Structure 1
Amino acid sequence: MRCIRTRGKKGKPHRNLDDPPRQRANKARGRGTYENDRPPVLGMVGRETGWACFRVCVDTKEETIRRTVAGETAEEACIFTDENRSYLWLESEKESRSRRAVDHSRGWAEDRDEDGIREIHVNTIEGIWTSLRNRLRRFRGVHKDHLSGYVAMFELAFNHDQITPALLQRMCGM
C-alpha cells in the first residue's frame, strides 16, 4: 500500500491556471432556486397523522408555495410555519386555511395562550429535515434533476414502516 504525502502543499497555488480546482459547494447567498442549482424542498407533515409530504420546487415564491400547499393540505387545515413572507397568503380573509407562525428570533416555540404548553412550533418538520439531510449526505451531492427521486424515496421510507405486497401493488399501479 502506498501513502501519498500532501503535507505542506495546501497553501500553494494551483499549478494550471486554466484548470482551477473544483468548487466544494454552492455557497450562493439567499434562498435557493432551481436556476441557481439549489432547488428548495417544501415539506409538510401532519401533526396528528405523522404523514409527511415533500415536493422539490422551482423557487420559494408565494405562487409556488401556495399551489403546493393547497394541493397537499385539507381546506380547514391550520398551517404552522416560520416567519417566511411566502406564507402570508394564508392570513388573507378569503383563505380557508389558517396560519400560526413562530418567530425564531424570539425562541424555538411560542405559548400564545399562556397555559404552559408551547403549541406553536415547527420542530416536527425540522427533525424530519435532519433525517432527509442525513440520507442525502450519503450520496455526497445529488444532481438537481434527480433530487425529486431521492426525496420521493425518502418520503416513501419515512411514511411506511415496512414494504408490504399491498404497497408494492400500489406503487406499480395495480
Structure 2
Amino acid sequence: MTDPPRQRSNQRQDRHTMANDRPPIVGTVGRNSGQIRPKVCDNTQQSTIQPQVESTTLPNTTVYTDESDAYNRIPDSGCERQTVCYSQSEYAHNDDQDGCCEIHGNTMEGIWVGVCNFVHPLIVSHLLEPN
C-alpha cells in the first residue's frame, strides 16, 4: 500500500478569518511557566487580539510577536513588545549580543505545528470513515 500525497492546508495568502474558512487562532505561551492560552477568534485585527493578550499576560511581561500591526498597542497594556520580521526572513535575533537569540516567536510556532500534526490526521480519518 502506498501513502497518498500529503494534503496541504488552505494556502491562501490573505489574512485568516472565519469568513474565508481559515479560522484564526490567537495564542500566548509562557516561556517560563509553559502555560498555553489558545483562542479561536473571528479575525486577526488589533481589536480582537489586544484583549486576548491583556487577559493572558501579566503586566510588565515581554511579549514576542511578528511584525503585524495588530500587536502595536501591546505596550499600552503595560507590556514590552519585541518583534521579529518574518516578511524579511527574520525569525530570531539577539539584541543584547550575548550569543542567545531570545527574540523569536518559535515557541508558539512550534506549538501550532504540533497542533496541526495532531488535528490533521483526525480530520482526515473522520472524512475517510464510511457513513
Q: Same fold (TM over 0.5)?
A: yes
Match in the other structure for 1:128: 111
- Aligned partner of 2:113: which letter? T
2:102 is equivalent to residue 119 of structure 1: yes
Match in the other structure for 1:103: 85
CA-based RMSD of the aligned residues comes to 1.9
- Aligned partner of 1:46: which letter? G
| Mapped contact 2:53–2:74 kept (Cα < 8 A) | no
The alpha carbon displacement at 1:132 in A equals 0.4
The alpha carbon displacement at 1:25 in A equals 6.3
Rg larger in structure: 1
Specify which structure has the higher proportion of strand. 2
- Aligned partner of 2:14: which letter? G
Distance change (3 Å), C-alpha of 1:26 and 1:128: closer
Query: Which runs of 5 or more residues in structure 1 are unaligned?
Result: 1-23, 142-174
Distance change (3 Å), C-alpha of 1:75 and 1:41: same
Match in the other structure for 1:50: 34
> Deviation per CA, 1:72-113, whole angstroms, max 9, x where unpaired?
11122111001111001124xx43111010123253210111
Moved >3 Å (runs of 4+): 24-29
TM-score (norm 1): 0.61
- Aligned partner of 2:47: which letter? E
TM-score (norm 2): 0.79
The alpha carbon displacement at 1:28 in A equals 4.1
Q: Which of 60, 66, 82 in structure 1 is aligned with 2:66? A: 82
Give, in whole Å, the separation in 1 of the partners of 2:77 and 2:14. 28
The alpha carbon displacement at 1:139 in A equals 2.5
Match in the other structure for 1:151: none
Query: Which runs of 5 or more residues in structure 2 are unaligned?
Result: 1-7, 125-131
Distance change (3 Å), C-alpha of 1:116 and 1:59: same
Match in the other structure for 2:5: none
Give, in whole Å, the separation in 1 of the partners of 2:77 and 2:91. 27
Matched pairs, number: 116
